[in-house]
Chains A and B, each alone.
Chain A
Amino acid sequence: MAEYFGIRHFSPACAFYVTEFLNRIKPECVLIEGPSDLNNLIEPLCNPFAVMPCAVLAYTVNPPVKTVLWPFADFSPEYRAMLWAIENNIPVRFCDLPSSCILAQMVKEDENISGTEEVPERKVSVYERMEKISGMDNDSFWEYTFEQCENYDDFIKASEEYGKSIRENSDDSDNHNKLREAFMRKIISESEKQFNTDKIAVITGAFHTMGIKNIPFSKDDEKLTKKLPETECKSTLMPYSYYRLSSRSGYGAGSKAPAYYEILWRNRIKNTLKDSSAEYLTRIAEYQREHGFQASSAQVIEALRLSETLALMRGGKTANFNDLRDSAVTCLGNGSFAEISEACADVEIGTKIGILPDGTVCTSVQEDFMRQLKDLKLERFRSAKGEELELDLRENIRVKSEKSAFLGLNRSFFLHRLRILGIHFAEQLQRYQENATWAELWRLQWTPETEIEIVEASLNGDTIEQASQFKLSTQLAGSENLAETAVILSEVFLCGLSDTVKSAVSAVQKLAVGCSSVKDTGDTIGTLSGIIRFGNIRRIDTEPIIPIVQQLYLRFCLNLDSASVCDNSASEEIVSAVSKVNDACLSHDFLETERLISVLSDIADSDSANPLVSGFTCALLMEHGKITPEKLSELVSRRLSGGTPAPEGALWFEGLAKRNRRTLINRLSVWEKLCEFISELDDEEFKPVLVCLRRTFSEFSPSEKAEIAENIGEVLGISREDASVFINSELSEDEKQAVDDLDDFDFGDI
């Protein structure tokens, strides 16, 4: 008769005793809960060069891509059983439903959504009932009872009892589980025939063990398992990470703290299980010390004592994960989890990533990448020779199918997603053509590194889209700066991830409330306005962003006045922010221009505002036509008059010359004032003004400069010809000397 071993996934104790179980019963065949059509992956998984965590991954070939995962860690009982079988040269098989069937069910569930909701609900209720009976949460109960057990016979008895009670306390097994168990019975009976033995070891989850133990394969089972749904799918091994293991897993019962369980596992095989608590706490303290926090051995000792008392109070013998975490927070974190949260992430979850030998990996992301290359007709770029690709994002109305109408756009989404994932297949080149927001220029090149980068991307998700979504969501969660978050939001638009738009928008809204920096607000308005202006070409709804822009715009206008009183180093930032907001204001009707204009007028007229900002606002007002020529000449004469310190006047002029030079050049009165201003300066005053003016005019084009020179000539009453004669004449000795002296001019004082 077959022998059964009920396990809990990712349990070090189970992993340890399953080996002993196999050693004792010496089966001639080992069956393990896992996809029965993927037996071929067992051997590469047990390759001595493979480092766990790794996962078996199956995915549908046709979009929408569905994936299913079976991750394994060093301390997975299933993995240990496989290793044992391979070492002892005994046939080992998976005995659960084939992956094609599971994926087919997932596709079907997707089609009628109502079916998906029932399954998880029922699962919860079993464990909730168990929690009521044991009076503690399920993980604690398991750890106190099983992980801390150090006797094989006790363990086997207890886990059998455990399996029974889960079974008793759950509702009637749902259809899915009935099918799975019927299928397992089928495989058991088939294996008995195939290997001509009844010494079979069956290793499944404790819940299922009770459903298949000593129940023969019946006619009903045969009927049930005869025709399984199927879909075309592929499978691969892939390296996994502890981080991913902690957040999600194919079982729906991953491992909350893989690195912590690894500590338990390593200590168990060393026969020093009791040291695990001390190791956990010491490693937290070590991490804290390395990162500049104070953590003494005395604190670790106190934490250890506290954890043991807690365990006793909570009904255990030795401290479990919760006891240890609570005492670490109390003794090492001064009572607040935030203080040791990073240490906890490191010691509990860890950063370990699995390794698989070459040739065994073909992840769904790779597959997805290739399929999209084909779909988007990019295959020919998959060569070592770099080529440029120009994209037109607009709808191509000359073609019939939607797919080809938006080919350019879809290509752009795809390439942007690759960029986000750090896959260096495509590099975006700058385009200098004006108003070409509908066009993008890329350079595509395939290198061996690209292949590796794609495999790495599979740690973030199962398809290119999913992975880029995950990556941007992680960035969003980590970003605390408004302008930065807005940039992420625009990335979301570039990548066409409409599902992430909502969370990105709400992240921006949250940060917008607390942001009072004019620079950040302005930059954000600029970024968001860009999204709204060009978002529709990417066919994503930009409506939700509008209220945020309005809110920020209001705040910007309210804060600008006080922010304009600043020093010269900050003034450049303010000018660029004002310029962005002004652009946004011009291009959106939903922003009240009047509000900005009134603030700008105040600043233009204010003597306390920074001269550069003030000059710049004046230029903007000219552009809007909101300043009368009289007012302008009043301002120019006031700013460039003797009462104003000379450097300030020059800065003001620099600000004024930053926009619409054409209007400026044509205003003779302005140049008149400038000439007057300069000629009244003495030598010492002239030096800093010169630097400023030079900087101002360096941005003008040669023809503009010539025009200005002409204007000034007119003011000074010098004709073109006279000027030319004068400039082309030889320099006198004195003049030469003066020019040479300029070489020693010390800019450091200015």
Chain B
Amino acid sequence: MSNEMLRLPAELLYKNEIDALIENETNPVPDGWQMSPKSVLTYIMGGKSGKVNITPKYMGDKKIVEICIATLVTDRALLLIGEPGTAKSWLSEHLTAAINGNSSRVIQGTAGTTEEQIRYSWNYAMLLAKGPSFESLVKSPVYNAMETGTIARIEEISRCASEVQDALISILSEKRISIPELSEEVSARKGFSVIATANTRDKGVNEMSSALKRRFNIVVLPAPSDMDTEIDIVKTRVAQMADSFKLNSKLPDISAIERVVTIFRELRDGQTLDGKVKLKSTSGVLSSAEAISLLVNSMALAGSFGNGNVTDYELASALQGAIVKDESKDKAVWTEYLENVMRKKGKEYSKLYSECKERNA
């Protein structure tokens, strides 16, 4: 059955790794956790446990993951901030999968998220029939996590309205939910915490209040620091996704990935890799995640309409779509990049350049 699911949760996808880490545990395990902080680190960064190879889940600075895990050990809530596509949700899912074996206690923050979704709401049929009681209570993921001493995730917290965000303040500082209707208070068990993620780049988000911010330890996830790491990330994820989507296309060769990552990095950083020429940046976000979906997209194009090989033709179409989001502004930036940078990059880029130029005309 699991093979038919579009996307498996992390704890099922990597069940054998988690089991191996639990089995080979040698360090003390904090209350409410299923493995020690060090094993969590191994699970995220990769390594070996007994005979099982642990695949790296987050490729980047180990220091950042250490801070995240240490924060959760100290019962502080964790707030992951970063540009889109810097693996915030990915990291939070894997952290909860490793710590609790359950990454499903999620609240998706949207403009329509209400306070009830963070605290609790009522099963109205039951409420009318039996009156207020624990039975008629519908518990939120946060409530559940408090009861079981586990970690709740709140995605895109900055998309929630401010008053909804602020409902978290008392939960995080007092670690309890009061239910005035029942004159009851529910205290969190040891191990309870919250991982929230927030976007820095999206428009129309609600600024988080400083009262709430103070209750979080904030970790900023950076874009991949160097070229090789990013190529690695893109390569690995493209292979994984191509596997599950069954695209009738060969994986793009390493030079294609390299070229896409180069273009993305240069436009994102606003300068060429050698630092010699400064460039204008696009309005859209050119994250590694964007690069991954671009390559998968071009694989789909090649598989469905081409000969099954990702060529410059497919790359150029996908690049145009990914880079030019705001027609008037991005087009100029992309033209400038093509003329000033890509044209001078030499033979490897010449075909891609002419394909791109044709599409951007």
Q: Is B220 an interface residue (CB 8 A)?
A: yes
* A294–B210 touching, CB < 8 Å: yes
Contact status of A330 and B217, CB under 8 A, knowing A306-B71, A309-B73:
yes
| Interface assignment of A158: CB less than 8 Å from any CB of chain B | no
List B246-260 residues whose CB lies under 8 Å from chain A: none
B218 touches A306 (CB 8 A): no
Q: Is B278 within 8 A of A326, CB to CB? A: no
Instruction: List B contacts of A336 (CB < 8 A).
Output: 220
- For the complex, what is the distance from the CA of A721 to the CA of B73, rounded to whole Å? 102
Binding-face segment, B74-82, B92-100, B107-115: B74-82
- How many chain-A residues does the 8 Å CB contact rule pick out? 24
Do the beta carbons of B76 and A302 come within 8 Å of each other?
Answer: yes
Chain B residues near A335: list those with CB within 8 A: 79, 81, 217-220
Interface size class of B (residues with CB under 8 A): 20 to 34
Tell me which residues across on chain B come within 8 A of A313, comparing CB atoms.
Answer: 37-38, 41, 66, 69-70, 73
| Distance A514 CA – B281 CA, assembled complex (angstroms) | 11
Could you show 11 A-B contacts with beta carbons less than 8 Å apart? A299-B214, A306-B70, A313-B41, A313-B66, A313-B70, A326-B66, A326-B67, A330-B67, A331-B217, A336-B220, A506-B275
In the complex, the answer to whether A510 meets B214 with C-beta atoms within 8 Å is no
What's the nearest-Cβ distance from chain B to residue A218, in Å?
47
Interface members, chain A 509-527 (any B CB < 8 Å): 509-510, 513-514
Most buried by B among A310, A331, A335, A513: A335
The reply to whether the CB of B329 lies closer than 8 angstroms to some CB of chain A is no
Closest to A310 in B: B70
Within B264-302, which residues are at the interface with A (CB < 8 Å)? 271, 275-280
Tell yes or no: B344 within 8 A of A by CB: no
A514 to B38, CA, bound (A): 46
Chain B residue numbers with a CB within 8 Å of A296 are 214
Question: In the complex, what distance in Å separates the CA atom of A525 from the CA atom of B71?
Answer: 53
In the complex, what's the smallest C-beta–C-beta distance from A309 to chain B, in angstroms?
A: 4
Question: A305 and B74 in contact (CB under 8 A), knowing A313-B41, A506-B276?
Answer: yes
With CB as the reference atom, state the residue of chain B lying closest to A305: B74
In the complex the two chains form, what is the Cα distance from A309 to B73 in whole Å?
7
CB distance from B313 to the nearest CB of A (A): 32
CB-defined contacts of A510 to chain B, threshold 8 Å: 271, 278
Decide yes or no whether B130 CB sits under 8 A from chain A.
no
Over the window 489-530 of chain A, the binary record of Cβ atoms lying under 8 Å from chain B Cβ atoms (1 yes, 0 no) is 000000000000000001001100110000000000000000
Q: Complex Cα distance A444/B338, Å?
A: 55
Q: Kindly report which residue of chain B lies nearest to residue A338, judged by CB atoms.
A: B220
Identify B214's interface contact among A298, A314, A506, A513, CB under 8 A. A298
Residue B63 lies at the interface, judged by CB distance under 8 Å to chain A:
yes
Within 8 A of A (CB), among B313-328: none
Q: Which residue of A lies closest to B220 (CB)?
A: A335
Please measure, in the bound complex, the distance between the C-alpha atom of A330 and the C-alpha atom of B65, giving whole angstroms: 12
- Set of chain A residues within 8 Å of B201, measured between Cβ atoms: none
Additional A-B contacts beyond A306-B76, A313-B69, A513-B280 (11; CB < 8 A): A299-B214, A306-B67, A309-B37, A309-B74, A310-B66, A310-B67, A313-B73, A326-B63, A331-B217, A335-B81, A510-B271
Whether B48 is near chain A, meaning CB under 8 Å from some CB there, is no
B359 at the interface (CB under 8 A from A): no
How far apart sit A336 and B275, CA to CA, in the bound complex (Å)? 23
Q: Which of B66, B210, B280 contacts A314, CB < 8 Å?
A: B66
CB closest chain-B residue, reference A510: B278
Contact B66 A330 (CB under 8 A): no
CB A646 to nearest CB in B, in angstroms, measures 42
For residue B213, CB closer than 8 A to chain A, the reply is yes
**Can you list the 9 inter-chain pairs with the closest CB atoms, starting with the nearest?**
A335-B218, A309-B70, A335-B220, A513-B278, A310-B70, A510-B278, A334-B218, A330-B217, A309-B73
Residue from B79, B213, B279 within 8 A of A513 (CB atoms): B279
Residue numbers in A under 8 Å from B67 (CB-CB): 306, 310, 326-327, 330
Contact with B along A329-350 (1 / 0, CB 8 A): 0110011100000000000000
Smallest CB–CB gap between B165 and chain A, Å? 16
**Which residue of chain A has the shortest Cβ distance to B200 in the bound complex?**
A336
